[in-house]
Structure 1
Amino acid sequence: MEFMTSPRQRISSAELASANQVIGKIVRAFSGKVVGQLPLRETLLIALLTGGHVLLESVPGLAKTTAAEALAASLGGTFRRIQCTPDLLPSDIIGTQIYDAQQNEFVTKLGPVHANFVLLDEVNRSSAKTQSAMLEAMQERQTTIGGERFPLPKPFLVIATQNPIEQEGTYVLAEAQLDRFMLKDVLDYPTPAEEAEILRRIDAGVFEDDQEPVASLENILELQRLTRRVYVDPAITEYIVSLTYVTRHVEQYLEPELARLVEVGASPRAAINLTAGARASALLQGRDHVIPEDIRRLGHRILRHRTLLSYEAEATGVTPERIVDAIFASVRTP
């Protein structure tokens, strides 16, 4: 199978060195506020370099809000946190028109989604109607209020969180909403050494210090343009397409006891996101080209919420990660 690829200007060594310098500054600033959580740091940077959005799942207290605030502060970007509750309305997110009695006219008041970094805390606690209000913002990078369109700032990153241990009073995200998130990461507890370091930093007042920007939003836009120029070999493209194809035809490639647990495979958006994410992963590693390891390190984060399993899988303890691992094992690595 052959794929047509458009010619891209190769990244020069000077451009790569400049990108590594900016990324290094952001990483150091982020690590100064967030202890450990290296996969989370990589997930947020990949989303930032590709213009994607992130869904984070974990129990409370694992530095999700701190991470989002630290990333925004390191770039001097605007940050808004939206606490999702069942009574939250779409207008509370995107904005609304209010009547100005003095001017005798309606004026538009933009909502908190009009920021560079938006944290949707416990997104599954908001109603389906409110969740859908984010679809246009996440996909089209704009909102519509009173028939008028308002573009969102650049860069624009949505970080949504959900708590897996409290399901009462929650609204499960629809498949269409899940597919809008480029990456889904599942966070784990810190190690004892990392937890001790958190306590030491609290005693030292590290988290109370204001964080100065170490890079600009224009630097991020330039990194996004550079990310799109990272070289992807046709063999890597074929590898990505083969992986997504297997998710839709598991009965031909996986063992029957696993294949019957998969209800829906990944959409073409998964292949698009795997390609974009691999480019960002390569740039974060200081490379101007993608290797198969870039695809594998993103497998769980991009496919776990797009490979939908049956209720039987949940009852028997089969996780999406196990299915994704089986899919990768069934496809030859180039």
Structure 2
Amino acid sequence: MPQQRRHLLSLTAVTDEELFRLVERASGYAAASAAGDPYPKPLTGRVIGTYFKKTSTRTRTAFSAAALRLGADVIAYGPADLQENTGETTEDTGRVLSRMLDGFVVRTAGPDREIAAYAAQDRMAVVNAMSEGEHPTQALADLTTIQRLAGRVDGARVLYVGEGNNSAIALALALTRFKDTALTVVTPPGYGLPEETRKLAAGYARASGSAFACTHDLAEAPAADFVYTTRWQTTGTSKADPDWRDVFEPYRVDEALMSRHPDARFLHDLPAHRGEEVAAAVLDGPASVAFDQAENKMHSAAAVLEWCVAG
């Protein structure tokens, strides 16, 4: 009987204890890497598939590099490579791949149900590398970065500025579960977090003794340890309003905004568009840890693959 694998489709399906352990494990990988120590090889003899229907630099490379460093072999699929393009169902594709692969890392940027369909089997672990509704592995990289810089996630105060996109959704579903944290999400009108995400995050915050708030007014934002933004045009999406850039202009993270949080570090999930969501002086300035955050995607990917595939 093949070993049953774990899936990571949404952070809502991960317990608090599992979330905490994943962040701790990723932080451990990051610390070991910084010390020049190699990864252990818990995935020796395993095969991991990566399937990216949309462009990816950090996430695709992070999972591929992590899998290889953990001892696995990697098969990469592009958007035109699988027989889904000729009419095979996603469920059938998942069933076939599960007979050959141990893990499958998927980015669709489409509805969450697309990735969930690959997980309609229990032989192959499926990891959501970004869907329209959530980017769970990004949040793990974010929390790993906070843990590495602050020594813990508990108590972290984060100001998120920009669209309530899949990265912001994942952040809200993760940070609010740590004790005494504070997350303030500031978005342009009409571009906030989905109502269901707000309800879930508020519930997590009540249970953990944390603070969670959504607003459209940057002036209402309290002091923060971390200021976080993402690019205004999320991968695989478009905006119906032709004048949407005018709506987003007041939400740029610039030197004036950072001066209101003089001790804060700057986070960005990248890619960045200097002069749009962030000023070049901020992204390239001394407060920026965005490229450390990018590296931590590999360490968090390692923690995810180990947990999903090796158990």
Q: Considering the TM-score relative to the shorter chain, is it more than 0.5?
A: no
Q: Which one has a bigger Cα radius of gyration?
A: 1
Structure 1 length-normalised TM: 0.27
Structure 2 length-normalised TM: 0.28
